[in-house]
Amino acid sequence: MSSPVQKRRPQTAQQFVLAELRRAITSGELRPGDQIVQDSLAARFEVSRVPLREALKALEAEGLVVHHIHRGYFVAELSLADLEEIYRIRELLETEAVRVAVPLLPDAALTTLEHIQEEVERAADAGDVPAMAAANRRFHFTLVEASAMPRLVRLVTTLWDSTDAYRSLYYADRPHRDQAVHEHRAVLSALRAGDTDTVVRHLDDHRAHAVAALRKVLDTDRR
């Protein structure tokens, strides 16, 4: 009989390990600065060190982990300057995507966003940070992908990947989850009205509030 791990395993061991490591990092199970102990992870995932090393190299290329000679792999840490730069670039790219997407947004996409928002709110109420982070990502990318600009979407994806671990830290606090829920509702209201400028303004506020909260997290970690 296959183990639960084997049932979840995709086509190759490397793909499986890559997906599991990315999930552990983006969910906050592995926090920024944590060392990645390869022996214990190989045993946990029931794989050899080879696919684990290949997965770590892929994550290093994405900026999710860093390698220190003689010390090994660690979950990447962002400086405040890094975080602010990433969110500033997101603002520029996502604003362009949203301004293109809103006039084109079909009713079906708006319905999808409303269903995803229900998932966001259920996860927020339950304090399920990984589920909320995943639903939040689907919410934003449903809107960004409606721009039908795949190269832009890929760039935005890279920026999101590099900050997912910090987003999970943000959602760990109930007031932050509540604020995100409120801000999503405001975005949905503006989308229903077809008010592009207001959608952009609410999304700008949404990012700014996250940066302000994460700034405090980074300040605390430095003490």
Check residue 1 and give its pLDDT: 42
- What is d(CA 134, CA 42) in angstroms, rounded to the nearest whole number? 25
Instruction: Find the farthest-apart pair of alpha carbons in the chain and give their distance in angstroms, rounded.
Output: 57
* Ramachandran region, residue 141 (left: φ > 0; alpha: ψ -120 to 50; beta: rest): alpha
Say which DSSP state 47 is in.
Answer: -
Beta bridge partners of 66: 74
Q: Give 101's contacts (C-beta < 8 A, 6+ positions apart).
A: 143, 144, 146, 147, 148
Asked whether 62 and 158 are in contact (CB, 8 A), the reply is: yes
pLDDT tens-place values along the chain, 223 residues long: 444 454 554 468 888 888 888 888 877 788 888 999 988 888 888 888 889 999 999 998 888 899 999 899 999 888 888 899 999 999 999 999 999 999 999 999 999 999 999 999 999 999 998 899 899 999 999 999 999 999 999 999 989 988 887 888 888 889 999 999 999 999 999 999 999 999 999 999 999 999 998 888 776 655 5
Q: What is the pLDDT of residue 12?
A: 86
